[in-house]
Amino acid sequence: MDDDARPQSLRYGRAALAVSFFAQGALFALLVTRIPAIQDRYGISDGLLPVFLAAVPILAGLGSVATEQLVKRLRPSVVLRWVQPVVALVLVGLGAGSSMWVAGVTLALFGVCVGGLDASMNMLGVSLQREYGRSIMLGFHAAYSLGGIIGASLAWSGAHWHVSLVALYGPAVLVLIPLTLVASRWYRDAFDAPAGTDTGQAAQQETQPVVMRLLMPLCLVMAFAYIGDSTVSNWSAKYLQDTLHSSEQLSTVPYAVYMVTTLLGRSVGDFGVRRFGAVAVVRLGTVVAMAGFAVVAVAPGAWVGMLGFTLLGFGLCVIVPQTFAAAGRLFPGASDTAIARLNVFNYVGFLVGSPLVGALGDAWSYRGAMLVPMVLVGLTLHYARSFGAESAGYGVGHERPSTVDVG
């Protein structure tokens, strides 16, 4: 079915959710790219900084678990509508404070709220995809990547012009909060589908138990993907500068290139899923990501290393959105619960990835350390069948691997 033929409320719901993903990408980038400035502002020692940073994903995991219970009483759209402005306001509070306790409280609130935000966004994305009857999840995550690029660019400008954190965060939040609140008017829950549709029945019943034994392959894939992602975000600059002997300026480029390639890959990824099916797209993405890590590990110089990080962007970008989508297909009668539990492993991978590569790099070599996320991401090939539509309860009228675009 052509998009123009779909109900207006459905198309508006898709656009509104894309706005939310965009805003979250920008907010998260504004935080993580200014960690050094936050450390300086609060006088956080190098020894204490990892404790603060580790607390954020741990609390985000708890926030995701809490959201699983919360959406049994409130619609995911309600959770998302109000938790996203809180995340933005917390960021401003972090930029405005000066006492160590302010840093602790704001980062803790940021972690808990981000867990609820990520879970509720992807709940709505999965239910919208089910109602659309074709792959659209990669498009939402492309909006997140675009927001991340803009947020990182704003953060770079702030650092370059020595703009204070509150002066950087304040105007961004003044734009993003009204934008998301206006967009939230058109959020569309599974409950909003017509009563006779597959989506409406699944949402109304919500009686299907989530069997962790069946969900666990997707949980592992999620963790592996974020181990790979955190390796790029935390170690690409250091690797290029210290191991491949690039200049300081050039060492900042790989992460920017990685973000751009995730945007490009996600922008076209839904077409690949419609054409070839999720299993084929995930397998291809996994192979490309493994090739990227291999190129990084053996790169003789900085430019070849950047080629490896470019491949990583194109490869890893498809895995996470398709993992959320696969969980929704696997448990169509309890997709919100499945998404909340799966989302926890997002933070497990983020928490494990950076320390793992750092410890291996110090004890062995950073070239060798790059092979570990390569192997872990490669295990996705073993679990690729979990992404299959036929065995995952996609439901009547939903896409299956085909030689034509059923959308």
Tell me the CA distances in angstroms from 297 to 26, 247, 369, one per residue in order: 30, 19, 8
Tell me, yes or no, whether 407 lies in a domain. Answer: no
Together in a domain, 141 and 266: no
DSSP assignments along 287-347, one per residue: HHHHHHHHHHHH-SSHHHHHHHHHHHHHHHTTHHHHHHHHHHHH-TTSHHHHHHHHHHHHH
Number of independent structural domains in the chain: 2
Whether 164 is in a domain gets the answer: yes
The predicted structure's pLDDT at residue 256 = 85
Of 155, 187, 219, which residue constitutes the final position of a domain?
A: 187
Per-residue pLDDT 10s for the chain (407 aa) are: 566 677 888 999 999 999 999 999 999 999 988 888 898 999 999 889 888 989 999 999 999 999 999 999 999 999 999 999 999 999 999 999 999 999 999 999 999 999 999 999 999 999 999 999 899 999 999 999 999 999 988 988 888 899 999 999 999 999 999 999 999 999 999 866 554 444 444 444 456 789 999 999 999 999 999 999 999 988 998 899 899 999 877 887 888 899 999 999 999 999 999 999 999 999 999 999 999 999 999 999 999 999 999 999 999 999 999 999 999 999 998 999 999 999 999 999 999 998 999 999 989 999 999 999 999 999 999 999 999 864 333 333 344 443 333 22
Q: Which CATH number belongs to the domain containing residue 345 in this structure?
A: 1.20.1250.20
Same domain (yes/no): 283, 373: yes
Indicate if 296 and 168 belong to the same structural domain: no
- Give pLDDT, residue 199: 43
- Do 231 and 321 lie in a common domain? yes
User: CA nearest 216: which of 121, 321, 62, 331?
Assistant: 331
| CA pair distance 28, 37, nearest whole angstrom | 15
What is the pLDDT at residue 255? 85
CB 274 within 8 A of CB 399: yes
In a domain, 198, yes or no: no
Tell whether 83 and 159 lie within a shared domain: yes
- Which of 187, 218, 242 terminates a domain? The answer is 187
Rounded to 5 degrees, what angle do the CA atoms 404, 131, 184 make?
125
In a shared domain, residues 56 and 134? yes
Distances (CA, A) of 114 to 86, 140, 227: 9, 17, 18
- Count of alpha carbons within 13 angstroms of residue 202, beta-carbon side: 28
Question: What is the per-residue pLDDT for 13?
Answer: 96
Q: Are residues 224 and 365 in the same domain?
A: yes
For residues 51 and 110, state if they share a domain: yes
Establish if 195 belongs to a structural domain. no
Domain identity same for 101 and 2: yes
Dmax (CA) for the chain in angstroms is 62
Quick one: pLDDT at residue 207?
61
Residue 397, domain member (yes or no): yes
**Do the Cβ atoms of 222 and 345 come closer than 8 Å?**
yes
157 and 241 belong to one structural domain: no
199 is a domain residue:
no
User: 169 is in which domain, residue-wise?
Assistant: 1-187
- The DSSP H or E segment spanning 114 is helix 100-132
Is residue 155 located within the same domain as residue 224?
A: no
| The pLDDT of residue 205 | 43
Residues 214 and 130 in one domain: no
pLDDT (0 to 100) of residue 177 = 98
What are the φ and ψ backbone dihedral angles of 137, each rounded to 5 degrees?
Answer: -65, -35
Asked whether residue 137 is assigned to any structural domain, the reply reads yes
Q: pTM value?
A: 0.90
Domain annotation covers residue 36: yes
The pLDDT of residue 393 is 37
